[in-house]
Amino acid sequence: MVLDEREERVAKFFRKMKRTKCLPAHVAIIMDGNGRWAKIHNLSRSQGHRKGAERVREITEEAARLKIKVLTLYAFSTENWRRPQKEVDLLMRLLKFFLSREIKNLKKNNVRFECIGRIEELPPPVVKVIYQAKQETRKNTGLVLNLALNYGGRTEIIDAVNKIIKAKQSGQLTPSDIDEFGFSRYLYTIDLPDPDLLIRTSGEQRISNFLLWQISYSELLFCKKLWPEFSAKDFRNCILTYQKRKRRFGGI
Ligand code: FPP
């Protein structure tokens, strides 16, 4: 793909966004607070994550209804491997179960499934269901549900640099190819616009290594609700707050 094509694709996203009253084209969410929610309700962390998975379904359906183009959800970070093995195993099982159960629903809602991160390092049964979900939804034209799995923003940048070095060594690159657009072609998000809105639930105000390059001009919204209690209405309220913001992209 040449650079002009990508610029045109991004410009096309912006043109469409204007027609839809500044609806964010891409919303990214750091789904935080499953563990705290479970504690407050005297439940296990596993139950907190299960409840969190239910919210993934609800918010995906709402985003599809609102005609948002891309919803990126931070489901498992490169740092999450540091959690107790039991919790990591539970999250992997939940992911596999969720994806295999949801494929039908994604198809029904015309949702295309994508994911970003070092997918090949995930357990093989999870990788298998990821490819199946991608394959079976590839022709859908509505919302792109993009799960960040084994994802780290710094890792993504390092992976991009290594891909660039390889491309350079095989003579596919000239130095002038690497401007901002050129660099972003090597990120996991190559075909996606940058997020317009980044939401983090649970009251924490951190980025936690999420989409470091892509959120340069995103609007940030920190919501006090814990992820398992974050409803479709909360999501719509976040969109409304976003629509009241004035974005200047460094201009005046
Ligand atoms: C943060 O809560 C959440 C995660 C580390 C993973 C997000 C996972 C889900 C929403 C469920 C499974 C996802 C899918 C796509 C099926 P936390 O455990 O850090 O909460 P705490 O900070 O309150 O302990």
| Residue 123 belongs to domain spanning | 24-152+197-202
Number of domains in the chain: 1
Pocket test for ligand 1, best of 58, 227, 229 (most atoms within 8 A of CB): 227
pLDDT for residue 13? 45
Element (H, E) at 41: none
Q: Dump pLDDT digits (tens) for 187-215.
A: 999 989 999 999 999 999 999 999 999 99
Told to judge if 109 belongs to the known catalytic residues of this protein, a careful annotator would answer: no
Average pLDDT over residues 236-241: 95
Asked if residue 53 is part of any domain, the answer here is yes
34 lines ligand 1 (CB under 6 A): yes
Asked if residue 216 is part of any domain, the answer here is no
Told to judge if 80 belongs to the known catalytic residues of this protein, a careful annotator would answer: yes
Asked if residue 33 is part of any domain, the answer here is yes
Which residues on adjacent β-strands are paired with residue 222? 200
Asked if residue 60 is part of any domain, the answer here is yes
Asked if residue 19 is part of any domain, the answer here is no
Question: CA 202, CA 30: separation in Å to the nearest integer?
Answer: 9
Q: Dump pLDDT digits (tens) for 101-121.
A: 999 999 999 999 999 999 999
Tokens of 88: 């990591």
Asked if residue 29 is part of any domain, the answer here is yes
Asked if residue 55 is part of any domain, the answer here is yes
**pTM of the predicted model, to two decimals?**
0.91
For the chain, what is the radius of gyration of the CA atoms? 18
Asked if residue 105 is part of any domain, the answer here is yes
CATH number, position 94: 3.40.1180.10
